[in-house]
Structure 1
Amino acid sequence: MSNLAIPGSAAQPLDLSSLPDVAALTAQQAHLIERDAETWLLEHPAVEDAAVVVTGFTRDERVTKCARCGIASVFPGLDFDDQLVCSLCRDYEENRDQILRYFGRPDAFGELIRKRAAEADGEFDCLLLYSGGKDSTYVLFQLLELGLKVMTYTFDNGFISKTALRNVEEITQELGVPHVTLTRADQPKIFLESLHEHKSVCNGCFRSLLEIGHQVAAEHGIPSIVTGLSRGQIIDERLSWFYRNGIYDPERIDADLDSGRQVYHLLHRGGENYIGDRVKVVDFFRYSEVTKEDIRRFLAEHPSWSQPADTGFCSSNCLINDVGVFVHKLERGYHNYEAPTRWEVRLGHLTKSVADEELVDPTVNRRVTTLLDRIGYEQPVTREILAARMIAYVVTNGTSIDEVRAWAEQNALGSVPRILPSRWVPLSAVPRIGGALEFRSLPRMSDSRFDAVPMEPEATPTPVGFLEPTRALALAGADRPRARAVALDIPWGIAAGRIAVAVAAAASEVPAARLQWTASEPPEFERVPAGRAWVKRLDLARSSSEEWPQQVRTLTARLLARHDPHAGCLQAFMLDGPKGTRVLVLTADESGLGPDGLAPVVGAIGRILGIWETPQSTGAAQAREEAVRWLRARDGGARIRVSGGGAPEGDASEHGVVDVAAEDWTTELVVYDGAGVPGAAAPYRELDARFRRFADPVRPDGAPADSIVVEPAADGWRLVPESGEAVEMPVTAAVGGR
């Protein structure tokens, strides 16, 4: 295997039956593995382009380090200029003022905490997440210097240094600060899950820390939780996605982070007991430019704090941190503190030489292996390590990325064993320059350690907008054409339990969703089999009426981007908003729901709850004729193609044609009368029209076409052009409505 050669063709794949230790693989061999995987994926008829990247290897045999920050070229997505300056440093120099807009001064921090405390009128101004390490100890002293009333909380994950715990006890007693230390019995299991999913222990630890911290804050009426995250951690973990997408506005970023936390709570905690609107997380170092050396000098003057001698370079309180560093380096190919630490260098808070010392490569020592055994994590073999490092970026002709992945899984164990990438990213196009892959433009796969925010959505949803009179919002996934989300206004008088039963009953009518859902007597329903998602509920009643419509749009877009087809082709969420508003959000991969997608489910929900009437098709022909006359009056000699439920009778073609041959038309008229889909209600038919007919139609000659939808209205029909105002139709037939 050490003599891997470039295959002559797809019929001559690489021999991957026996691989050396991953540390012995060269960059050239890793690239051959990438090319072999790309060739294999392109055998799928729906895959139009693919790029496979094995992280942890450079684009050549030599590891390059940035002349400014010192980041190594094994970090994914980098390029270097002639002066060996990395692309992250160049981006920072170009956008320095924009990036620094997010950060403030200590007086602004104090004003923010005091304002929130005055509104809450509780005993304490803030709750500090206090680890006993150097950063959080420094923050504690600064909070007291600002005159704030502070309570501290320590999360004991079972692997906290005894010296750090002693620091916590002695310093809080010395300063007279109320303190509580809490733990959770299942934390080792959470560490194991975090290592499998993120190749780090920090993700699981920080989320447990925050969840319990929110509970403590709520119990004591504390409105603000203060963290000691460094600016490098804040940028890398929370802000880098925004910066890569050209978003620098602090208000926009904070609003999106809040909505991300709401979505995380909804997806992972069922939406119950959400308190994120009452308890906010505030990062102290967002408002302080203190350097690491400043912190060390400050603590040297306070002998009550002691530096733990039993932790690694990247932690001053945690023993298990080295385990996460080791696993991440092995299975991702680079140090998981590389990015935030190098950001500290760019910001001038740390010298490059000190950063190099902190980022020494982890070693397998007795303590690391003992801790791995203790939490039950088996060290992977070479094939598993390469799979964990592999990312597949795939462009399809509309087929779901999950369908391609399922095909790959079925074929990976054929006569020629393949290595299956662990992470899959759908793209509309693979970024290339002159045919060569542009690594810098590939989406970065982020394993966020410090926030429960779904960064890097798989697809950027395309909003369609609220529709009257049904008040419905529809979204379609840009990179997943069959990924859909619908948000529907539900009358407040309908009990939440009844809505849940209606969703379960409606879904049970769809064969593809039947195994996921089952209904019982109101107001209860159960999920079958275990592990499937049911209707999750999120209380957002504290939102303002002005913010609510945009909040619904943002949450629906996030839920669509995070839709997990492995948890069921259909998922449902209930959002309780201000002043008695309630929205039901359905997300689905419609390729798993049959040709009619979400329409039957939405129609059945409306029928079961009695909130929509199934429209009648009476008047469709008259509406078509009126619409044709209106179009001719507007456009003169428009040549019109008619499709949908109002197509002329007797036409054998799939789409009816008025006055013009199928190959010679300029305007498409889409008539929707509610017929053709059993149980479908007018609201979704209207939404579905927007999905399927406003997707940049093209005339037979290749020129853009004008699509116009004729849809049922409360007292007749209306014409809805692709652009411009809707036009009420002079048709008297009463059709649809509610």
Structure 2
Amino acid sequence: MTSITEHYNYSAVPDQAYQVCTRCIMNTAADRSISFDDMGLCSHCQRYDRLVSARRLQGEQGREALRALVERIKAAGRGREYDCIVGVSGGVDSTYVAWLVKQHGLRPLAVHFDNGWNSELATRNIELVLRNLGIDLHTHVVDWEEFRDLQLAFLKASTPDGEIPTDHAIGALLWKQAASRGIKYIISGMNFATESISVPDWSYGHSDWRFIKDIHRRFGSVKLKTYPHFSLFYLFYANILRGTRIVSILNYVDYDKDEAMALLSSQLGWKGYGGKHHESIYTRFYQGYILPRKFGIDKRYGHLSDLINAGQISRAQALAEMQRPPYPEELQQQDLAYVAKKLRLSTEQFANIMGAPVKSFRDYRNLYGVVQFLRNTVNALRKRHLYPR
């Protein structure tokens, strides 16, 4: 297999073409679709500036909006065992959400999707935090043979969308738990402050069942009998007919990741993982090994740029972080051996996957245009205050 010391050269773009943002660290090597204004500000920072006032409510404005939201959630859940659902992974965002909803007197049900890749620390964090907060937990354990086959199909499809099998299933599980229990609100850990940058070519398809089905039809071999999934028609039913809402509650508070981690550690015994989404062994390996080496994608560019825009780190700190490997090289080697064994891939098979020509979601059947239309529609409704943030 490729030596762990061979790192992707992110500046391997002709000098005359390479450009980096004057505020964040996004650049033409990290995102080929990026653009810049006359002052050298990238399209991601421009988008952040346009949307931040509507997506991120701070200070008294946020507190007032959050109080109103909490009252709506309580009213909608009156007479039921739970008034909202919180998806938990063991990571900082979802754990802080669980703490926050309890602080505001809500009665959440925590829902966890166990895809077989939890680190021991993630499992411990989930159990310890929820016990300390007094929150009930529903865990869905995926059928491993089905899920393994779907993950392998995505690896063989040679697109950078290998995390979609997990992301889609989590969404399906949350929607369907809400429907079965008559719950109107799903509280999300997504937040504009630290997750505003979105690059379709980095990852696409968490809402596109047609795309997922086509990948599995071409490269899978095990029938997906129990894998949680949903269609765009189901989203229409859940949102419009049932009135279920996903609320990004962290957009209502002054959310600072370092402060959140310190609070969770001191009050609940939570422990950090050393990287974004590293609570999952597969996510850690996929984002820290496969994406950089095969696709030339390092999501830290986006994660760190978000924190720059949010004022939580400096540009110099972000650039210094990018000089380090995505995570410790010794652990990368351990993960490589573990992932290959768990997926039942030989050294040769994994090397073939890594060496296969790179493709895009556009090479497979998808509903990209429809997904974008629906997303724009939801954003327009938010802007007109017809749809909860």
Partner residue, 1:153: 111
Conserved in 1, the CA contact under 8 Å of 2:76 and 2:83?
no
Distance in 1 (alpha carbons) for counterparts of 2:96 and 2:68 = 19
The one of 375, 385, 388 equivalent to 2:358 is 388
Matched, 1:218 2:185: no
Residue type matched to 2:53 in 1?
Answer: L
Partner residue, 2:167: 206
Greater Rg over alpha carbons, structure? 1
Equivalence map 1:310-349=2 (5 Å): 313-325=275-287, 326-349=289-312
Partner residue, 2:204: none
Q: Give the match's secondary structure for 2:55.
A: coil
Residue type matched to 1:73 in 2?
Answer: T
Distance in 1 (alpha carbons) for counterparts of 2:105 and 2:190 = 21
Equivalence map 1:366-385=2 (5 Å): 366-376=334-344, 378-380=349-351, 384-385=355-356
Higher RCO (C-alpha 8 Å, min separation 6): 2
Residue type matched to 1:302 in 2?
Answer: Q
- Measured at CA, do residues 97 and 379 of structure 1 come closer, stay the same or move farther in structure 2, by a change above 3 Å? same
Distance in 1 (alpha carbons) for counterparts of 2:303 and 2:27 = 13
How many residues in Structure 1 have an aligned counterpart in Structure 2? 328
Q: Give the match's secondary structure for 2:85.
A: strand
Conserved in 2, the CA contact under 8 Å of 1:171 and 1:305?
yes
Residues 176-234 of structure 1, C-alpha deviations (whole Å, 9 max, x = no match) = 21122222113323333444364244322121112122222223222111121232565
Equivalence map 1:94-243=2 (5 Å): 96-104=49-57, 105-121=62-78, 122-185=80-143, 186-195=146-155, 196=157, 198-231=159-192, 234-237=195-198
Q: Give the match's secondary structure for 1:225.
A: strand
Distance in 2 (alpha carbons) for counterparts of 1:174 and 1:25 = 43
The one of 249, 262, 266 equivalent to 1:284 is 249
The structure with the largest strand share of the pair is 1
Q: Give the match's secondary structure for 1:136.
A: helix
Distance in 1 (alpha carbons) for counterparts of 2:114 and 2:354 = 35
The one of 275, 299, 303 equivalent to 2:264 is 299
Residues 458-505 of structure 1, C-alpha deviations (whole Å, 9 max, x = no match) = 999xxxxxxxxxxxxxxxxxxxxxxxxxxxxxxxxxxxxxxxxxxxxx
Conserved in 1, the CA contact under 8 Å of 2:21 and 2:42?
no
Q: Give the match's secondary structure for 2:271.
A: coil
Equivalence map 1:16-35=2 (5 Å): none
Q: Give the match's secondary structure for 2:305.
A: helix
- Measured at CA, do residues 276 and 164 of structure 1 come closer, stay the same or move farther in structure 2, by a change above 3 Å? same
Distance in 2 (alpha carbons) for counterparts of 1:286 and 1:262 = 28
Shift of 1:123: 2.3
- Measured at CA, do residues 459 and 316 of structure 1 come closer, stay the same or move farther in structure 2, by a change above 3 Å? closer
The structure with the largest helix share of the pair is 2
Conserved in 1, the CA contact under 8 Å of 2:110 and 2:136?
yes
Residue type matched to 1:224 in 2?
Answer: Y
| TM-score, normalising length: structure 2 | 0.68
Distance in 1 (alpha carbons) for counterparts of 2:251 and 2:368 = 20
Partner residue, 1:402: none
- Measured at CA, do residues 24 and 264 of structure 1 come closer, stay the same or move farther in structure 2, by a change above 3 Å? closer
Partner residue, 2:387: none
Conserved in 1, the CA contact under 8 Å of 2:114 and 2:139?
yes
Residues 343-368 of structure 1, C-alpha deviations (whole Å, 9 max, x = no match) = 22112234335544665444551322
| TM-score, normalising length: structure 1 | 0.39
Residue type matched to 2:114 in 1?
Answer: D
Relative to structure 2, which stretch is displaced further, 265-274 or 175-184?
A: 265-274
Distance in 2 (alpha carbons) for counterparts of 1:214 and 1:265 = 18
Matched, 1:78 2:34: yes
Equivalence map 1:492-641=2 (5 Å): none
Residues 416-437 of structure 1, C-alpha deviations (whole Å, 9 max, x = no match) = xxxxxx8569xxxxxxxxxxxx
Distance in 2 (alpha carbons) for counterparts of 1:231 and 1:115 = 22
- Measured at CA, do residues 380 and 173 of structure 1 come closer, stay the same or move farther in structure 2, by a change above 3 Å? same
Distance in 1 (alpha carbons) for counterparts of 2:296 and 2:165 = 20
- Measured at CA, do residues 366 and 110 of structure 1 come closer, stay the same or move farther in structure 2, by a change above 3 Å? same
Shift of 1:24: 10
Shift of 1:127: 0.9
Conserved in 2, the CA contact under 8 Å of 1:313 and 1:358?
no
Residues 593-632 of structure 1, C-alpha deviations (whole Å, 9 max, x = no match) = xxxxxxxxxxxxxxxxxxxxxxxxxxxxxxxxxxxxxxxx
* Stretches of structure 1 lacking an aligned partner (at least 5 in a row): 1-22, 27-54, 242-259, 392-421, 426-452, 461-550, 556-738
Calculate the aligned-residue CA RMSD, in Å.
4.2
Partner residue, 1:625: none
- Measured at CA, do residues 339 and 130 of structure 1 come closer, stay the same or move farther in structure 2, by a change above 3 Å? same
Residue type matched to 2:245 in 1?
Answer: K
- Measured at CA, do residues 263 and 288 of structure 1 come closer, stay the same or move farther in structure 2, by a change above 3 Å? farther
Distance in 2 (alpha carbons) for counterparts of 1:152 and 1:227 = 11
Distance in 1 (alpha carbons) for counterparts of 2:68 and 2:150 = 37
- Measured at CA, do residues 307 and 100 of structure 1 come closer, stay the same or move farther in structure 2, by a change above 3 Å? same
Residues 282-305 of structure 1, C-alpha deviations (whole Å, 9 max, x = no match) = 222222231222213323432521
- Measured at CA, do residues 224 and 198 of structure 1 come closer, stay the same or move farther in structure 2, by a change above 3 Å? farther
Partner residue, 1:726: none
Conserved in 2, the CA contact under 8 Å of 1:133 and 1:164?
yes
Conserved in 1, the CA contact under 8 Å of 2:194 and 2:303?
yes
Residues 360-388 of structure 1, C-alpha deviations (whole Å, 9 max, x = no match) = 44455132243034225644559955x31
* Stretches of structure 2 lacking an aligned partner (at least 5 in a row): 1-5, 201-206, 215-228, 379-389
Distance in 2 (alpha carbons) for counterparts of 1:303 and 1:180 = 20
Conserved in 2, the CA contact under 8 Å of 1:332 and 1:388?
yes
Matched, 1:87 2:42: yes
Q: Give the match's secondary structure for 1:365.
A: helix
Distance in 1 (alpha carbons) for counterparts of 2:372 and 2:43 = 24
Q: Give the match's secondary structure for 1:334.
A: coil
